[in-house]
Amino acid sequence: MVAMNTNTPAHPHVPRIALVGDRSPHVRSHVRVPVLLDALAERDGIALDAYWIPSVDAGAPGAVEGFDAVWVLPGSPYASEAGVLAAIRTAREDGIPFLGTCAGFQHALIEYARDVCGLERAAHAENDPTADAHDLLIAPLACSLVGHEGVVRVTPGSLAEKALGAERTTERYHCDYGPDSRHLDTLRAHGLRFTGADEEGGIRIAELPSHPFFLATLFQPELAGDGTVPHPLVRALAVAATTHART
């Protein structure tokens, strides 16, 4: 477990956020995170005590227990798929505010399919390129979204819509994989809600209404602007973490 800022001691009233992923200076989202945390503190008065947890370490028992938020960041393939899935499961089962972006979105769907829906063979094509096509929940996109920016239409009354304050948003992507439609009805039947789609109907946002704050996006809100104004979804996670810390 690696602290974002080792010069800042943890304080019992400062919400603690676990940043799950294999931190790299070559991943734009990872470089952007410190900027976002500074902006949250300066603009919104929300200070977060952030710790990076490599995917291998995330699989250890209790790795994200005690945190007030878990953010699974891009950067796949992760060194440990199992570690990332374990962190997502803990956040989901323990009611810890959760945000998954890009690969975090993809793995949130995999975790839910396997652990809630009973689709134990649900696979990610990037992690398991030899998987049977019928088992692929996350498959190569027909058109790559690397460097793409596009409109996302958001379901009225959803967590995403409340956080965004709008039913339409333009977002940035950096991915080659997305959900295969054949298993989505099963996920819906077990309580996962898809609340954002592109103009062709491709799923872009998922959330769990039974959870205090569980949100996943195929786009990367951390790449909005220059980072000095936190994206509304990042701000919403910070607010949820603050609420969790108080309780």
* Mean pLDDT for the stretch of residues 225-242: 96
More confident site: 203 or 142: 203
pTM: 0.93
CATH 3.40.50.880 matches 2-246: yes
Query: Where does the pLDDT of residue 144 fall: very low under 50, low under 70, confident under 90, or very high at 90 and above?
Result: confident
Q: Which pLDDT band, with edges at 50, 70 and 90, does 2 fall under?
A: very low
Q: Report the pLDDT value the prediction gives residue 8, as an integer from 0 to 100.
A: 40
Mean pLDDT taken over the chain: 92
Q: What pLDDT does 148 receive?
A: 84
pLDDT at 133 over 90: no
Q: What is the pLDDT of residues 3-19, one digit of tens each?
A: 454 334 344 579 999 99
E-strand stretches of the chain:
2-3, 16-20, 49-53, 69-72, 98-101, 123-124, 136-140, 149-154, 168-172, 177-179, 193-197, 203-207, 214-217
User: Which of 8-22, 119-133, 205-219 reaches the highest mean pLDDT?
Assistant: 205-219
Of all helices (H) and strands (E), which one includes residue 236? helix 232-246
Query: For the chain, which residues make up each domain, given as ranges?
Result: 2-246
Express each pLDDT in 158-208 by its tens digit.
Answer: 999 999 999 999 999 888 899 998 999 999 999 999 999 999 999 999 999
Q: Do residues 126 and 177 lie in contact, with contact meaning Cβ atoms separated by under 8 Å?
A: yes
Biggest distance spanned by C-alpha atoms of the chain: 49
Q: Write out the DSSP string of 68-97.
A: SEEEE-S-PSPS-HHHHHHHHHHHHHHT--
Token match 């990076």: residue? Answer: 52
> What pLDDT does 1 receive?
43
pLDDT for 141 equals: 82
pLDDT of residue 12: 56
Mean pLDDT (whole number) for 203-230: 96
